[in-house]
Structure 1
Amino acid sequence: MNSIVTHKQVLKAKSNSSQVNCIDIIYGSDENYQFGAGVSAVSLLINNPHIFFRFHFFFNTVDTQFLDKLRQITEQFSAEIIVYELDNALLKKLPSSDVWSSAMYFRLIAFDYLSSDYDYALYLDADVICNGSLGLATSLIENSVCGVIADDLGVRTKSGSRLRTPELVDTYFNSGVMFVNLKKWHEEQITTKCFELLSADNAKVLYKYPDQDVLNLLLKDKLVLLDKRFNTIYTLKNELYDSTHQKYSDIITTDTVLIHYTGVTKPWHTWANYPASQPFYRALEQSPWAITDLKPATKFVERKKEYKHLFKQGALVAGCISGIKYLFEKLNGKKR
């Protein structure tokens, strides 16, 4: 497993020595989500100024400009950042899709790799933004492999039926937020067992959400359920059906700590500037990145959403241009 990690770089503030008491945060993403992961880290820092964070970024590739911005974060917030570069050739052989790349498996590598040096860590998807004080104690998971947040009842019910494991109706969780007891993870050989299930010939047929499904099957008796405020799921697709753009506040409340922006449209997309995205924008303003770094649609699945949101926002010319590009790609079979 360690051979997958090819390079490690430690970034820390010159004025800050290593601290014993801190919270370790893990991100794993490809180049398409790195910007989001960087802003997500800043959202944790600005909402938890009295906590020392050590961030672990697991990437398949990273450029010098991105590293420079991470260095700026360490100096600005006196944080520590460790960047791990992966050779993900083997991971690319596992089930993936246009929406979920092999980067979804980076977390599995990270949990096992870090278990030799650290006891606990909080994993966050790049599209998770902090909106309040974290307040997670390791005592919550000292007797379990991990702490997770149960998905909505409809998802749990369908997943239990789909995976032929009815008891998952009580525990099926979204893997975008996982508070992990790294030692127990390693002892239980969870990463190895995940890859065994994912390497089966029929894995792509069996698992609709590959990494998430196998994690649920393996951890159903080894987890602790945490409060929903630590993984409040919100899809910006909702904005297409809400002319007021205020209904999000029924989901993202003042108690919400971690917002998980699921779906194709992310808050870092150029067409996603809604009130629901403001926690991301607040972090962006205090980060080394700027509005000009927001991402336009580059994939077919993104273009399919972009033009609809632009029309909803009244940007008719931009929406028409995006729609024409979408139709052109659709007619020419360019769906990647």
Structure 2
Amino acid sequence: MSQQYFNDSDVINSVLDFNHAGETGATPFIVAYGIDKNFLYGCGISITSILLANPSLAFEFHVFTDFFSEDDRARFDALAKQYSTRIVVSLIDCEKLKSLPSTKNWTYATYFRFIIADHFAGKADKVLYLDADIACQGSIQELADLQFSENEIAAVVVEGESAWWQKRAVSLDTPGLEKGYFNAGFLLINIPQWAKEGVSVNAINMLRDPAVVSKITHLDQDVLNMLLVGKTRFVDKKFNTQFSINYELKAQAVNPVNDATVFIHYIGPTKPWHVWATYPVSRAFLNARQHSPWRDAALLSPGNANQWRYAAKHYFKQKKYLAGVVGYLTYFMHKVK
């Protein structure tokens, strides 16, 4: 029995369909993003990077967002046209989400992944959900070809190592997590099984339970880990290689990104679309940007005190001392307002 928490009629206000795919006869591989307006830039480049690295695969991209400007409309339409693909943008009504837990780092947009999974129930067998701060630099044919076994709800990638898994197992009172805790920024979802087990319904109910909320620190990621223990397939870390650009500030940062990496996940507050993030690890993103309708869109400048503080640190690291001084002065001006 299929169970969904979200019905399209309740949460989707309108749909924009930029369809320039033409008739290929191939069943497209569906990639979906759930974002707020701060990640639209990154989302467009993420889509571009996938298309660049996988020219022989047929795709259909779905973007679920609560904001979409005329400029966004023009650029996403141009992107679909440039690569002869289809991009469907669904505008979300967020009222049903605003009562759920949120933090400075995780807004209610994090729950869009549940809307995505429920939206595709009965419409697709599998969907690849990605965070918009992910750039692709390799083939995802392996994911397109992956066949789930009967009880697998999703293919996932571990986050951290065994010590972290054990901590999560204890704090979330879920012993099975000792075998692996996953990052929810990459989810290859087995849609029929997700719906059959009512994952969205169970997750939202848990997120409304004070006893559960008192345990979790990573919101829906923690809840999904608790729900999906023993029901996931762990795939290679090359499909979700996490790296924070702020690690560049450390004296001996270990960068796990290499030629085998397929998806680079730029975790942390500094993103590759920020003007102070000019490091080799940003190359996959910046290269895709040059091959996209965002090539003429400036990288983003700091917009708040926290970003000015990080920008200043990075400018000093990059020996851009004047920019660093200006960054710190602007940071202090923001702080005293």
Q: Which whole-Å CA distance do the structure 1 matches of 2:215 and 2:335 have between them?
A: 28
Counterpart pick for 2:148 among 118, 135, 141:
141
Counterpart pick for 1:322 among 322, 327, 336:
327
**Kindly, what percent of the aligned residue pairs are identical?**
32
Question: Counterpart of 1:105?
Answer: 111
Asked if 1:287 is matched to 2:292, the reply is: yes
Give the drift of 1:291.
Answer: 5.7
- RMSD in angstroms over aligned alpha carbons? 1.8
Asked if 1:241 is matched to 2:250, the reply is: yes
Alignment of 1:172-187 (within 5 A): 172-187=181-196
- Work out the number of aligned pairs and report it: 327
Give the drift of 1:309.
Answer: 0.8
Question: Counterpart of 1:21?
Answer: 27
Q: Which whole-Å CA distance do the structure 1 matches of 2:242 and 2:194 have between them?
A: 25
Counterpart pick for 1:8 among 1, 15, 19:
15
- Report which stretch shifted further, 57-66 or 16-25: 16-25
Gaps of 5+ in 1: none
C-alpha contact 1:120 1:138 (8 A) present in aligned 2: no
User: C-alpha offsets along residues 158-196 of structure 1, whole Å, 9 cap, x if unaligned?
Assistant: 222221223202121000000011111111110111110
Question: Counterpart of 1:114?
Answer: 120
Structure-1-length-normalised TM-score: 0.92
Question: Counterpart of 2:259?
Answer: 254
Alignment of 1:1-336 (within 5 A): 1-2=6-7, 3-13=10-20, 16-17=22-23, 19-135=25-141, 136-143=143-150, 144-153=152-161, 154-242=163-251, 248=255, 251-290=256-295, 292-332=297-337
C-alpha contact 2:308 2:327 (8 A) present in aligned 1: yes
C-alpha contact 1:10 1:83 (8 A) present in aligned 2: yes
For the structure 1 residues 323 and 195, does the alpha-carbon distance in structure 2 shift closer, same or farther, using more than 3 Å as the test?
same
Gaps of 5+ in 2: 1-5
For the structure 1 residues 172 and 52, does the alpha-carbon distance in structure 2 shift closer, same or farther, using more than 3 Å as the test?
same
C-alpha contact 1:141 1:180 (8 A) present in aligned 2: no
Paired residue secondary structure (1:147): strand
Q: Which whole-Å CA distance do the structure 1 matches of 2:69 and 2:105 have between them?
A: 23
